[in-house]
Amino acid sequence: MKISMSSPDLNEADRQAVINVINTPILSMGQHTADFEKAFCEYTGAKYAISVNSGTAGLHLCVRAAGIGAGDLVITTPFSFVASTNALLFENAIPIFVDIDPRTGNINPELVAEAAKNIEKYLPRKGAEKHGDLKALLPVDVFGQPADMDALNQIAQERGLTVIEDSCEALGATYKGKQAGTLGNYGIFAFYPNKQITTGEGGVIITNNERDANFMRALRNQGRAPGDTWLQHTHLGYNYRIDEMSAALGASQMTRLDEILSKREQVAAWYEARLAEIPGVEIPFIATSTTRMSWFVYVIRFNPKINRDAIAKKLEARGIPVRPYFLPIHLQPYIVEKFGYQAGDFPVTEDLGKRGLAVPFSGVMTEAQVDYVCQIIREETRGQ
């Protein structure tokens, strides 16, 4: 049985949407980009949506819009895809890592509060000799489960901090009934082919702030402000524009987002029923505040006595692709070089990083495929 790590959920209408665009001369900055953005405003209830060509670009524009610059401090999580931290480094801001909740893998609000109160104690060993003030929080909705945003927003409010919600893994998730991405000042979604919906490459920022929305629209388009001609550039900008083929694909995918999410929910339920019975395997924990999980990846954890990497090798050898999730950001080589982090600095993050394994997951998996994967996991963990 052929099993892939992930797979986009595309239908004939999605393919036709892309072909229709290629048959026109307008391949950038056209109606499809506007339609794609409108779909996000309608789905999330946000006032403004700004599409870009990656989630990383979206994060970067939020950092710029928040006025985060050289030496500024931003509290964020070391248990994430690197882009959430990199967006800060692009502006020479200093990420202040705090550890995570061991159940959800999301940033621990109690530690955020403690760090906000006593930031000097949370500075990295090096690379922060000259630093500015604490400016923002950058939580991540890890694996499609919203961070504890009420607690984080309260801290932000008390201290006048901006909140950038990295919802790149959580389109469609809800927190206490509210849409992921709408919970901070800015929310970012991403559409690489392993995400819930895909545009090939792409991202969307949502916000209710009109001035920031206009600024980010200008920045994504080489810094052209409203009224600028093609060769006038009010701001230092970027080419972060999404193209029309991608936007049309995204708009088509958005029309069946709920169907796409339901299919992923079903696959997760198939996994849960089978994996919950395997000794030594822990299934994902869903917090009560998560009123809807938007399954991005399906990450299991092994009992500490089981050697995750040895099992991963055996699964790969039997044709089951798997991936350790996440390798902690603070231990990535360039971060160690810049800030001097060491193993042991964030023990919960490191523990989950050692025990977590993403198994094949997508909305197009069949029950037979899930069955097959779980059977092999059962066999390879037996006697461990």
Ligand X SMILES: *Cc1c(COP(=O)(O)O)cnc(C)c1O
Please give the residue ranges that form the binding site for ligand X (CB under 6 A). Answer: 54-56, 80-81, 83-84, 140, 166, 168-169, 190, 192, 203
CB 204 within 8 A of CB 220: no
The nearer residue to ligand X, 55 or 328, going by C-beta atoms, is 55
**Omega before residue 296 within 30° of 0, cis:** no
The nearer residue to ligand X, 87 or 374, going by C-beta atoms, is 87
**Least distance in angstroms from the C-beta of 170 to ligand X:** 9
The nearer residue to ligand X, 55 or 184, going by C-beta atoms, is 55
**Least distance in angstroms from the C-beta of 249 to ligand X:** 14
**Least distance in angstroms from the C-beta of 286 to ligand X:** 18
The residue number with the shortest CB distance to ligand X is 55
**Least distance in angstroms from the C-beta of 90 to ligand X:** 12
**Least distance in angstroms from the C-beta of 366 to ligand X:** 25
**Least distance in angstroms from the C-beta of 346 to ligand X:** 17
The nearer residue to ligand X, 56 or 246, going by C-beta atoms, is 56
The nearer residue to ligand X, 141 or 380, going by C-beta atoms, is 141
State the residue for tokens 């999580």: 77
**Least distance in angstroms from the C-beta of 315 to ligand X:** 22
The nearer residue to ligand X, 80 or 369, going by C-beta atoms, is 80
The nearer residue to ligand X, 187 or 380, going by C-beta atoms, is 187
